[in-house]
Structure 1
């Protein structure tokens, strides 16, 4: 594939003109530690129970469930979740001969997180030619370099329709339980609509961003204005063009990737916008632009797989001769310093990290006019402590006279009042409150998926994982035959920044295991105890390798809000770099005997 996709290569460090000469590295390290200490707060790991009168924060504002009769059925595969993980699972199972497949999702359509994330400005932060799967197969060319939410949602519907996956799909339906029947070698999936669906195989593809998270800050119920979470955007209140916000004071809680996208359009629409910040994000250049419809014309077959693997290699620290994507993600890694004489690779990486953070802080100074606001927007932690943000309008929005940043000094807001938000004893009156507070991460598995799984001999997955999280390949677990669970981060698998690449590799692996189980004449597989133990041991090693970096980071979802003691060593990724990991799975499948699995 040619390396010229019509995009300018961007070396953000060099363009910022920064270096470490004259930087007091000891003082910088001290500043990082001080900023981290400000944000360590046990209460920040607590979140609101979104049931009862607070269930409105998770209700579907986009479509209403239609009455239907309960379904009793037997199919070959049940997929819990109709996001891209569920869609790719169904597609890959179709490719190996499975035909009757049911998708079940609480949402009103396919798309997963992209069904929910419809807030103004919502878009993917990974290059669309890399992110959207099966582009060669569909012949689709994305409109922009970074696809917006509506285009991604439409593409998900295209995939579902072209593979006939919507024919048996059950939407606005919540799974309430899974139970294994040893006599029939089938799972029974039950739902809140009274459905009972039997299938030999089940995939739980619930996604990483399926549980709304709202911090347990006092007084949320006292606020008399309008409030909603960004993933349940209330267009009935704001209007599609946000015209409903004219003349209103709007507050945004959160300054992560979602806030960076939603703040600019809100600032243009509201009379006044107030952004409440606990921790500033690293904000790099996005450089979004329309794609030439002929951008992939004439490329050799396999161009997208090559692009996907090239991106994954670079962002996992494997410098490549050619960078096929060339954006903020890959530029950082491709521009990483080569070790100097007497300097080891780790020291060179630290130097590169410091350089990049200096460049990002310089970008804040160059963009934000008010010195105090600029200082508050500067991140003081290592790059990749939190997921980096890329946006071309977010920082400049704080130059608007109708936009105010309220920096909480790392403590977060104090409480909600009837009329607004209180920080350091000062009330900020608001008509509308937008909660850009993200999704739950690192919660117990059954809390994450919303139901329990009962396997062999009545073993509950909640009971097994209460002792220790244990799998083979992050995808299968002993005692739960023919069950696959697409792993998220820190679930004994491997992940790349392009999440859909990870989802597809897991879908391919599950389909390969299921197909081979049938080819070998078996009704079911289960994980051998020794194989599971060995796999967990390999992952625990990686947890120790990564602990020092995570402990140094500002509190966030990746390090259990700054207290790694809350997280078991077993909840870690596999130590192999991501492409080597996926190649390991492929070689394991190609061997043919399903080593580490018991067939019955």
Structure 2
């Protein structure tokens, strides 16, 4: 059972390791996966590949007349980012709010991702927002996807967001109309919506990413992206039972967070499953426990914010001396183990930052070796076990946990195909996939290849054109780096606001980021409306000062990122002339909670310092 005050100390990790040898091994494994084109190895979802993004397998698109209207606020995106932005607008007294969403309902990543076995992969009590406000408690530590999706819908109902929402609609363009002093929002449904304010809240996990494998269009079998799961083809639902796969040979490309969860279900139901892996994930024990009702009775108001802050301290801040670890799982293990080493010193206070990072690095290597030895003891075939071992630092890739993934490779109908030497699948034919000169004939290819997280900003936003004052393109304006005030608004783009990872403080919990940003954006919009302003945007000086603040206080993780195996955390190693680009944007160095304090102090003055208001 999950308890309120878990008592957990350092874990038992191997001490008989050669860090120098491992460091060399890590570098070798990284080098053989590097591709010169970097993130450009992934095809853009347009033309022949647009269906992988725009097709909705869950909700039929109902015909409707185009909408032509004036409105106060349009929020783009109906996931946590959009829901929380709209919710805080409602809390601030702004009622004329419309969410526009590509999917058929609210939920974002939890609407689209319905693959078998889908669960939250960090603790539900921290991750799922507004638990106290909606009086909801997740059923287990790592909640199932449908439960989180339902909570998204409940947020929409609680704040009356369904009343004005437009679903099954793709925004094509945003352009600032100087005469109207409004944003003109064009869509694939021929809408002409004239919004006083626009909030871009599409999130980083909404646009599927496809590997640019030669011959993809030649395949004569069935294929789909894991975020557009085709249950008409597979049968079953998120609990499995895919009875239509009994005579099918299935290929799944990718072994990240999605694949870890759905591979065990595919293996049970398919005639044969081929798992194509470029880089293995680190997979720890999940031990998913149901929520203890007795623990719930002990909770007092504010418990979720306290837990989120505790989780952040043990992960992003490295450790939290003097605090219990309330989460106690694979995410916080490195912090706990580092803290135990620090507290064992004769004089912990004398520890220099360099010494601290040295201790943390050693504990990092030990944890990763523990995970590799877990694989060796779980997977019966030594060659398969070796291929599954991750050789990189903790947090080079997203850490994962699952109790069924590794044992799946002991099944006779499962084949692991290592594509690291080829840097990916070489080619797709009419019948299957080629790796190392061998063709694997399959009936269906599932692309579990993730999302557009560090590709070009124009691809990530999925909007063809965003033009501010004088036709200025946001994509051109941000091409060489973000230019914002507080990461949420840019000069030249009046009345436009952004959520996500730009130039903001970053929490270990993405939903906490959206809450903080949603509250701040809602305050500015509400104040502008109350003061009768038709236009609000940052001054050039304030924006320059914020950019300088971000860069002067930046924490330089470039050496760590450059040492990591290619993946979305480091923009696929920085090839293609793009360089290392963090999936976290340009974070505010002092941290998430310092950033929150800064914003609260800014709002408390009531002066809207750094913003120009007109009208």
TM (norm. structure 2) is: 0.92
**Whole-angstrom distance in 2 between the partners of 1:286 and 1:494:** 29
Q: Which of the residues 172, 190, 194 maps onto 1:194?
A: 190
In the TM superposition, what is the alpha-carbon distance from 1:467 to its structure 2 partner? 4.6
| Matching residue of 2:50 | 55
SS in 1 for 2:99: strand
| Matching residue of 1:154 | 150
| Matching residue of 2:612 | 598
**Match status 1:464 vs 2:477:** yes
| Matching residue of 1:417 | 429
5 Å matches for 1:160-559? 160-240=156-236, 241-293=241-293, 295-317=295-317, 318-320=319-321, 321-337=323-339, 338-339=341-342, 344-410=355-421, 411-451=423-463, 452-488=465-501, 491-541=502-552, 545-559=556-570
In the TM superposition, what is the alpha-carbon distance from 1:131 to its structure 2 partner? 1.5
Q: For structure 1, which segment, 494-503 or 90-99, has the greater mean C-alpha deviation from structure 2 after superposition?
A: 494-503
What do residues 309-353 of structure 1 show as CA deviations (whole Å, max 9, x unaligned)? 221222212415122222221233222253457771111111111
**Is the Cα contact below 8 Å between 2:2 and 2:292 reproduced in 1?**
no
5 Å matches for 1:124-163? 124-163=120-159
**Is the Cα contact below 8 Å between 1:538 and 1:575 reproduced in 2?**
no
Q: For structure 1, which segment, 42-51 or 509-518, has the greater mean C-alpha deviation from structure 2 after superposition?
A: 42-51
Provide runs of 4+ in structure 1 moved above 6 Å. Answer: none
**Whole-angstrom distance in 2 between the partners of 1:469 and 1:308:** 28
**Is the Cα contact below 8 Å between 1:187 and 1:202 reproduced in 2?**
yes
**Is the Cα contact below 8 Å between 2:573 and 2:579 reproduced in 1?**
no
**Whole-angstrom distance in 2 between the partners of 1:245 and 1:543:** 50
SS in 1 for 2:542: helix
For structure 2, list consecutive stretches of 5 or more residues without a partner in the other structure.
none
What do residues 529-575 of structure 1 show as CA deviations (whole Å, max 9, x unaligned)? 12212222233346671111101111111222112751488952221
**Is the Cα contact below 8 Å between 2:249 and 2:272 reproduced in 1?**
yes
**Whole-angstrom distance in 1 between the partners of 2:469 and 2:67:** 25
**Whole-angstrom distance in 2 between the partners of 1:149 and 1:421:** 30
Q: For structure 1, which segment, 506-515 or 5-14, has the greater mean C-alpha deviation from structure 2 after superposition?
A: 5-14
**Is the Cα contact below 8 Å between 2:466 and 2:473 reproduced in 1?**
yes
**Whole-angstrom distance in 2 between the partners of 1:33 and 1:123:** 32
**Is the Cα contact below 8 Å between 1:39 and 1:555 reproduced in 2?**
yes
5 Å matches for 1:36-75? 36-43=30-37, 45=39, 46-58=41-53, 59-75=55-71
SS in 2 for 1:250: strand
**Whole-angstrom distance in 2 between the partners of 1:537 and 1:546:** 18
**Whole-angstrom distance in 2 between the partners of 1:186 and 1:417:** 50
| Matching residue of 1:30 | 24
**Is the Cα contact below 8 Å between 2:316 and 2:507 reproduced in 1?**
yes
**Is the Cα contact below 8 Å between 1:353 and 1:383 reproduced in 2?**
yes
**Whole-angstrom distance in 2 between the partners of 1:215 and 1:190:** 30
**Whole-angstrom distance in 2 between the partners of 1:486 and 1:567:** 24
In the TM superposition, what is the alpha-carbon distance from 1:55 to its structure 2 partner? 2.9
In the TM superposition, what is the alpha-carbon distance from 1:70 to its structure 2 partner? 1.1
SS in 1 for 2:43: coil
What do residues 241-284 of structure 1 show as CA deviations (whole Å, max 9, x unaligned)? 21111022111110111110010111111111111111111111
TM (norm. structure 1) is: 0.94
SS in 1 for 2:361: helix
| Matching residue of 2:598 | 584
**Match status 1:88 vs 2:66:** no
Q: For structure 1, which segment, 209-218 or 49-58, has the greater mean C-alpha deviation from structure 2 after superposition?
A: 49-58
**Whole-angstrom distance in 2 between the partners of 1:150 and 1:156:** 10
**Whole-angstrom distance in 2 between the partners of 1:567 and 1:103:** 35
In the TM superposition, what is the alpha-carbon distance from 1:503 to its structure 2 partner? 0.9
**Whole-angstrom distance in 2 between the partners of 1:359 and 1:475:** 41
SS in 2 for 1:97: coil
In the TM superposition, what is the alpha-carbon distance from 1:447 to its structure 2 partner? 2.4
| Matching residue of 2:586 | 572
CA 1:569 to 1:211, structure 2 compared with 1: closer, same or farther past 3 Å? closer
Q: For structure 1, which segment, 4-13 or 240-249, has the greater mean C-alpha deviation from structure 2 after superposition?
A: 4-13
**Is the Cα contact below 8 Å between 1:105 and 1:173 reproduced in 2?**
yes
**Whole-angstrom distance in 1 between the partners of 2:101 and 2:612:** 31
SS in 2 for 1:190: strand
SS in 2 for 1:496: coil
CA 1:274 to 1:483, structure 2 compared with 1: closer, same or farther past 3 Å? same
What do residues 449-488 of structure 1 show as CA deviations (whole Å, max 9, x unaligned)? 2222222233221231235421111111111112111123
Number of aligned residues: 592
**Whole-angstrom distance in 1 between the partners of 2:478 and 2:107:** 29
For structure 1, list consecutive stretches of 5 or more residues without a partner in the other structure.
none
CA 1:385 to 1:84, structure 2 compared with 1: closer, same or farther past 3 Å? same
CA 1:152 to 1:29, structure 2 compared with 1: closer, same or farther past 3 Å? same
SS in 2 for 1:258: helix
**Is the Cα contact below 8 Å between 1:10 and 1:331 reproduced in 2?**
no
**Is the Cα contact below 8 Å between 1:313 and 1:578 reproduced in 2?**
no
**Whole-angstrom distance in 1 between the partners of 2:167 and 2:579:** 34
**Is the Cα contact below 8 Å between 1:44 and 1:216 reproduced in 2?**
no
**Whole-angstrom distance in 1 between the partners of 2:10 and 2:407:** 18
**Whole-angstrom distance in 1 between the partners of 2:212 and 2:592:** 36
**Whole-angstrom distance in 2 between the partners of 1:348 and 1:568:** 26
CA 1:569 to 1:42, structure 2 compared with 1: closer, same or farther past 3 Å? closer
CA 1:9 to 1:249, structure 2 compared with 1: closer, same or farther past 3 Å? farther
**Is the Cα contact below 8 Å between 1:248 and 1:432 reproduced in 2?**
yes
Q: Which of the residues 2, 5, 13 maps onto 2:3?
A: 5
In the TM superposition, what is the alpha-carbon distance from 1:124 to its structure 2 partner? 0.9
CA 1:150 to 1:333, structure 2 compared with 1: closer, same or farther past 3 Å? same
